[in-house]
Structure 1
Amino acid sequence: MGMRDTALLGTSSDAPEPAGDICVVVGEHGSLLGWGPAAQQLLGYSASELWELRWADLVEPGTEAAELLDRRPDSRPIVFSPARLRHSSGSGVEARIWAHGLVTPAGAQWLIQAEPLEDARRNDLRRALLRGLFTESPYIIDVFDSDLRFLGQNESRSRSEGFADEVVGRTMREAAPSGLLDVDALEERQRRVLNTGRASIGAEVRGGIPEGPDGESVWSETIVPLRSGSGDVVGLVHLVINVTEETRARERLDLINEASARIGSSLDVMQTAQELTDVAVPQFADYAYVDLLDPVLGGRNADVGPLGEGVPLRRAAHTVRAGGPLDTRVARGEIDLIASAPESSATKALADGNHVLLTGDELFEEFISDPARAALHRSRRVHSWLLVPMYARGEALGTVTFARYQRLQPFEADDIRLAKEFAARAGVCIDNASRYTHERSRALALQRSLLPQRLPALRCVETASRYLPANGHTMLGGAWFDVIRLSSARVGLVVANAVGQGLRSAVTMSALRTAVRTLADLDLSPGELLTELNEQIKRFHHEEGSGNDAVGTTCTYAVFDPLSRHCELASAGHPSPALLPELGEAALIEMPVGPALGTSGAPYECGGLTLTDGDLLVLDTMGLANLDGGDVGTGLERLRDVLSAAGAARPSPAASPRQGLGEFCDEVLRRMVPCPAQQDVALLVARVRGLESERHVTWDLPAEFEVVGKARELAGRALQKWGLEEVQFTTELLVSELVTNAIRYGLPPIRLRLIRDRNLICEVSDHSSTSPHVRRALDTDEGGRGLFLVSQTADLWGTRYHARGKSIWAEQSLRTPPGD
């Protein structure tokens, strides 16, 4: 049967009420004396077949229902649930059985009621629902007809006393106690539901029997229309529940959220204190004021000595509920003599860090030294007075005082916690404001010292930059930029943003900038550089645990090659740069964007594009096309307007190129960055152009040692054409050693290239990825001196790897570069 048969005697309070039809009448010896259609329908027997059966034939043997005849009839029914009856087909029927005992002259008989078990369970649920709604529900339930007269109501414990003994047939106006609720407003809501047929769900209604000393309770009211079979509204059901405590808790939470949003909007001590009292009145208190220690108002540390001896507290702000001032004897900026006294509640609270709550006569004793203030409190009938000390960073700042006289409810435990939230929030903001002036200039000086002090002067890339600190914040930020000279006249452009704010963020930014420069000196591609930087951050994070602030840094690194005019870019979670062609519309550069540094192990991919002379690259830390979270197309349109207005793509002849770019940067910040900026902003703008073809030359050489002399001749002729005879000897020496090294240790093809930028660059490429090393050869060695000579002769040299092979380059300074 799936569960054990259980007999539930009628004496049990949990026994279900009889619900099935009378199926059969069983005689003393188990014979069937009668039956109804329900028995035939339930068990599948015909009337003639039932005459031949006994009770034992209708139930499963061995069950308690089968042993019914062994029991003595009682005035109360016996319930078997579940019971298993036998169908005419031989299958079992799960049912609930009620057996009513009868004593007749013919002997004991049983009237059997039965219904299918599923039907019985549904009926149980219906009965439980009705019992829950009408006898046990916390809801007040009223049923009205279309004339707004009572049809019935439940027995809710929440129902107010004073209703008429019999409400059926009466309206709410006739049945409810006088003054309990606004009957006119109720009837208006009822008629609205009657007329529209739309339910009113969860409306908040204030009034009813007072919930507490403040004389106001809050109810959630739902009015549902009742419809006839034809769909007409014929009545209403009201469901009302008391939500006073929930509403108060929600209002306190809303007040905390409002305080968080409104307190600390500026870095002015007096204004921050005023914002605190304005938030508290009238939602929380009828009167509030803030007294601060003198040093706090002056922007100095509150080193005031032992607080128990009394300290000068000066009025910083006060707010009163509409209806007149409460305490006019202490103006803003004046010392509150009562609060500053050694035995005052304020001094006590600042000394031990605990709040002070005063009610009744003890409240007026606080002002006994000033009879006028005491009389003013009495005239206003102040009944609850709460003082909370204000601290920040472990230092005392002052006190916040709240008073109630119009609100009847005194301050309770939840109110005290809320008052402390106010004081804590305001304390942090006031402390920040008092330290702001002194710290801001020092912070900005340190921030700027960590950024590039001067961008390099380059032939093919003109750059300008701006750094904008977050307005209103004294903390340092992690936004930074850099321009890096790379080998073979290439240029690296970097913009990044370390997470967080403060000194640690600035230190992280400085360390990352150094790491990027170090990796850039290895001539890595942008994707390889970010991948290596990512691995270093992860390795350091693994070694140092959670102390690595570099995790989550975003960065964009771009490398521009002026010979090919190709720009290669990679991004670690950073906004895409913008491209402003000299002729054309602004657009964001499409490029693969990887995760922020330190958050993933996947390698970073590169994107690339070919630029034309005059193109402008704009790299920033905020995403210029989507600064305000709006449409990217709108941001691009604004960026195009900035380009037209600034005219930086084509600076006037009187202005230097860098000056024109600087004006463009200023215009971008003025028109594109919100004011005040919510975070520090780094902006880097670069105008690119290719290196003229007459300033570089390339030769493909066979991998034969005989070609070394020819390579020297080719280089010498090129230098003579450029007018660089003074460096011809050292250049031919470099060419000889680099070409020889490529033939001996590299793989063909071999390519020699001379580049006349601001310096002279000699570069030899081959298809081998073997890494060259400098070593000091012994006197007996026949070779091994090539790279040593290169390192001693060139100002700078290095190796750059690419997809197929490597390039070894050497750079010489030119005292007077021709044509510059």
Structure 2
Amino acid sequence: MALDTHTNTPVTGGGADRRAGAQRAPITEWAFDQSPFALAVHDTDLVCLRVNDRMCRMFDMTEDQIRGRCLTDALPGPQFEALARYMRQVLDTGEPVQRETYRRVPGEDLERAWSVSIAPLKDDQGRTRAVWVGVLDITEQYRARQRLALVNEASTAIGSTLDVTRTARELVDVVLPRLADVAFVDLLESVTGGAEPRPGPVPATVVMRRAAHGSVGGDVPSVVRLGDIDHYPESFPSVRALTSGEPVLTGSGDPGYLAMIESAPDRIGLVLEHGLHSFLSVPIRARGITLGVATFLRGRDREPFAPDDVLIAEELTARAAVCLDNARRYTRERATALALQRSLLPQRFPEQSAVEVAGRYLPASANHGIGGDWFDVIPLSGSRVALVVGDVVGHGLYASAAMGRLRTAVRTLADIDLPPDELLTHLDDLVGRFTAEAEAAAPEDQGPDFGATCLYAVYDPVSRMCGIARAGHTPPALVTPDGSVDFIDVPAAPPLGLGGLPFESVDLEIPVGSTLVLYTDGLVRSRDRDIEAGLERLRRALARTSPSLETTCENILGSVLPDQPVDDAALLVARTRVLTGDQVATWDLPSDPAVVADARKKVTERLAEWDIGDAAFVTELVVSELVTNAIRHAEGPIRLRLILDRVLTCEVSDGSETAPHLRRARVFDEGGRGLLLVAQLTQAWGTRHTAHGKTIWAEQSLLAQAPPGGLAGFGDFGDLDDLDLDGLEGLG
């Protein structure tokens, strides 16, 4: 009986069978030796019976070193022990096994992807007599799948926010480590601030800011720190990529690489220290403008960048460029909205003596648009002051513009000295009209909402009384000098614009040195806590008082505001003052024309006590006009009051609700000139209604003096019949 020299098995049959077997033997040899697989055959004891040259080269061993030995004896190590277990599994079950792995084998310098097939070899009776192992290099297919997966991941991982720096960081995170070992993202200086880069080619000498960088090893080999700006040499791949608009691939052996080393030895020293040998710079371009450059580097343990790597880097950078440009545009729009918002807020607080104030406005986090929160401090007559906080529904430029309209409306209504509840009633009507206008002008896909909340408080430093009303707003807090903190129980009312329900105000006497805290709900409300928890945090923050209101504001924001606020917040802190008794003079007057002269005399004496006798001329004239009008046209009781503050205020109160109106008297009119004269001599005058009548007031600068030539200095007013009481005693 003859044996097959290849399989060591008997050859049976006649001469024809022997000839056929002889013909098949070379073909079998060719198939085994020329297979693209690295092949090996092992017996039931896992001893190698046959191995082809490709397998020998893969293991960096000769056939003699492998054949006749167990796999783990010839090739020790965990990976080959795992392969032996799979081979034993195939021998036991008779079922093939397919595995893929990515590793470095002894015959290769770098890691590669391998497809490992293990199958049983069975005889005619179906018994497993040996096991066949085939290993195929699938590195290119593996890398193609990895590239596709990388692009797919980039579509969701890059651009999760509208923040330029965060988007640049996401690009770095995506490429590490699958595409590069080190990555830099440098943006033009104008881009980081949201500005529009200049069109056209980028100059050779360019200033860029490091937006993001990263390294697989953690230690980034760069002399530029995050956020720093730097001038890049013309020989650098990043600058060459910017100026050409095309990717630049370089590395060891490239003349451009050598020129780069010579021009920047301090930078290249770090590169060489970390074994980085392959550089790929890709310009970041979107919508026809250049935003910056992304640089990718590979170290000594990886192959240099190949043309396929350049394509994938371009794809990833292009996706990031669109997201970066969107973030840049959003940054610009946000900066515009924020500039508008801040320009509509008080640039500085007006001078007044009623309260000491400090305020803060904080926009929401970058993922949310600028809101419509605002605060204001409005000086009123009689040394009083109005404190306002409000919040317009919505975000963006629309909310900022709406806030500006609303703040102007509040100032206009405050100028006519309306009580808090009446002011909010008028404001509610205005917001209703604004809403109707928005509904008529808004496109179908845009909501026309124009809602708002507001809190309005008026504090009088003479009486220490404070009137407060609110429309859908959070209640104010009051911190008394003894340190106790309470939220003032102001009657609740719906937000502005809903209409239908009246507003109510509360009046309370505030101790001297108390602190009023007005705020919007963005300070105390967030997604992870309700408003009650926010109010409690505010209470605890206010319990830690500080002599400085600026420090108080910082403490409140640091203790109460969430780390990532979803809404903007406005905060206004006011510490109350009081005008002392020697700054106010009050006289109750009977409704008798003869009392006018006595009133002028008392006023003159008081001005002399205050050492402002130069204001006597104008003050006497104002007192004569206002008291005379009250006696002639109103009803008692009549009260005259002088307030010495930053200005000198003269007030006459009566029991009538009819207010005088300024008009120009015609030539033959017998009246109407007195009030015009008061308006000419004082810097401001007006009327405010009270619960028991009205008060007419006039303010004059403390530098006011009698004009040269007496009344003639103000022109011809004709017969001053409104002042002709007892021959204008004391004025003649």
Distance 1:313 1:813 in 2: 55
Find the aligned partners of 1:791 and 1:315 in 2 and give their Cα distance.
60
Name the CA distance, whole Å, in 1 between partners of 2:315 and 2:442: 33
**Could you say which residue in structure 2 is the equivalent of 1:760?**
649
**CA 760–389 in structure 1, closer or farther in 2 if over 3 Å, else same:** same
Distance 1:560 1:370, change over 3 A: closer
1:532-543, aligned counterparts within 5 Å?
A: 532-533=426-427, 535-536=429-430, 539=433, 542=437
Contact 2:199 2:289 in 1 (8 A): no
What is the aligned counterpart of 1:178 among 90, 97, 112?
A: 97
Change (3 A) 1:561 1:262: closer
Aligned partners of 2:490, 2:312: CA distance in 1, in Å? Answer: 54
Shift of 1:566: 3.5
Distance 1:295 1:522, change over 3 A: closer
Q: Distance in 1 between matches of 2:253 and 2:236?
A: 7
Give yes or no for the alignment of 1:422 onto 2:324: no
* Structure 1 residues 767 and 289: alpha-carbon distance in aligned structure 2, compared to 1, 3 A threshold: same
Instruction: Give the secondary-structure state (helix, strand or coil) at the position aligned to 2:172.
Output: helix
CA deviation profile, 1:201-244 (whole Å, cap 9, x unmatched): xxxxxxxxx9x955999xxxxxxxxxxxxxxxxxxxxxxxxxxx
Distance of aligned partners of 1:778 and 1:309 in 2 relative to their CA distance in 1, 3 Å threshold: closer
Checking the alignment, whether the CA contact within 8 Å between 1:481 and 1:496 is kept in structure 2 is yes
- Per the normalisation by structure 2, the TM-score is 0.53
Mark the CA change 1:307 to 1:814 in structure 2 (over 3 Å): closer, same or farther: closer
Q: Quick check: 2:182–2:216 contact (8 Å CA) kept in 1? A: no
Letter in 2 for 1:712: V
Alpha-carbon spacing, 1:340–1:776, altered in 2? closer, same or farther (3 Å): closer
What displacement does 1:617 show? 0.6
Q: How does 1:386-405 map to 2 (within 5 A)?
A: 389-391=283-285, 395-400=289-294
Matches within 5 A, 1:107-122: none
Q: Report the CA distance between 1:444 and its aligned residue.
A: 8.2
1:505–1:549 CA contact under 8 A, matched in 2: no
Aligned partner of 2:357 in structure 1 is 464
Quickly say closer, same or farther: Cα 1:256–1:527, change in 2 above 3 A.
Answer: farther
Per-residue deviation, residues 756-809 of structure 1 (Å, max 9, x unmatched): 3423332333354x5532223345444444544543455432222456754433
Letter in 1 for 2:466: C
Q: Cα offset for 1:527?
A: 3.9
Letter in 2 for 1:756: I
Match for 1:465: what amino acid? A
- Please give the alpha-carbon distance, in whole angstroms, between the structure 2 residues aligned to 1:791 and 1:308: 64
Q: Which residue of 2 is the match for residue 607 of structure 1?
A: 505
Match of 1:558 among 437, 441, 457: 457
- In structure 2, distance between residues paired with 1:510 and 1:765: 37
Q: Look up the match of 1:144.
A: none
Judged with a 3 Å threshold, the aligned counterparts in structure 2 of structure 1 residues 367 and 681 are, in CA distance, closer, same or farther, namely: farther
Alpha-carbon distance in structure 2 between the residues aligned to 1:636 and 1:709:
57
Residue pairs, 1:189-588, within 5 angstroms: 213-214=141-142, 255-256=157-158, 259-260=160-161, 264=165, 273=168, 275-282=169-176, 285-286=179-180, 289-290=183-184, 292=186, 306-307=200-201, 319=214, 339=237, 389-391=283-285, 395-400=289-294, 420-427=318-325, 447=342, 451-458=346-353, 461-467=354-360, 480-496=374-390, 513-533=407-427, 535-536=429-430, 539=433, 542=437, 545=441, 551=450, 555-562=454-461, 565-571=464-470, 574-583=473-482, 585-588=484-487
Higher RCO, 1 vs 2 (CA within 8 Å, ≥6 residues apart): 2
Pair 1:798-2:686 in alignment: yes
Secondary structure at 2:350's aligned position in 1? coil
Q: 1:579 to 1:732 in 2, by over 3 A?
A: same
Q: CA deviation at 1:522?
A: 1.1
CA distance in 1, matches of 2:214, 2:654: 78
Distance of aligned partners of 1:675 and 1:757 in 2 relative to their CA distance in 1, 3 Å threshold? farther
CA-atom RMSD in angstroms: 6.3
Residue 398 of structure 1, CA deviation: 2.8
SS in 2 for 1:613: coil
Aligned amino acid, residue 766 of structure 1: G
- Aligned partner of residue 264 in structure 1, secondary structure: helix
Preserved CA contact (<8 Å) 2:517 2:573? yes
Deviation at 1:708, TM superposition (A): 3.2
The 8 Å contact of residues 797 and 810 in structure 1, kept in 2 or not, is answered as: yes
**How many Å apart are 1:520 and its aligned residue?**
1.3
Report if the CA contact (8 A) 1:580-1:616 is conserved.
yes
For residue 773 of structure 1, give the secondary structure of its aligned residue in structure 2: coil
Deviates more, 1:284-293 or 1:413-422: 413-422
Q: What is the distance in 2 between the residues matched to 1:325 and 1:528?
A: 64
- 1:47 corresponds in structure 2 to none
Preserved contact between residue 373 and residue 403 of structure 2 (Cα < 8 Å): yes
Report the AA paired with residue 157 of structure 2. L
Secondary structure, counterpart of 1:737 in structure 2: helix
- The Cα offsets for residues 741-767 of structure 1, whole Å up to 9 and x where unpaired, read as 225xxxxx6543425342333233335
Structure 1: gaps (5+ residues): 1-172, 183-209, 218-244, 266-271, 351-355, 374-384, 649-659, 702-706, 744-748
CA distance in 1, matches of 2:568, 2:350: 20
2:663 aligned to which of 764, 775, 782: 775
* Residue type at the aligned position of 2:174: A
Cα deviation digits, residues 458-516 of structure 1 (max 9, x gap):
2xx2212144666998x998665432222234321123466889999877766655443
* Amino acid corresponding to residue 627 of structure 2 in structure 1: V
Which residue matches 1:236? Answer: none
For 2:710, the equivalent position in structure 1 comes to: none
Q: Secondary structure at the match of 1:424?
A: helix
Contact 2:370 2:395 in 1 (8 A): yes
| Maintained 8 Å contact 2:345/2:376 | no
Task: Report how far residue 255 of structure 1 moved.
Answer: 2.1
Shift, 1:629, TM fit: 5.9
* Residue 296 of structure 1, CA deviation: 6.0
Structure 1 residues 368-418: Cα deviation after superposition (integer angstroms, max 9, x where no partner): 877999xxxxxxxxxxx999753468631234477999999x899999887
CA distance in 1, matches of 2:598, 2:511: 30
Task: State the SS of the aligned residue for 1:760.
Answer: strand
What residue in structure 1 maps to residue 630 of structure 2?
738
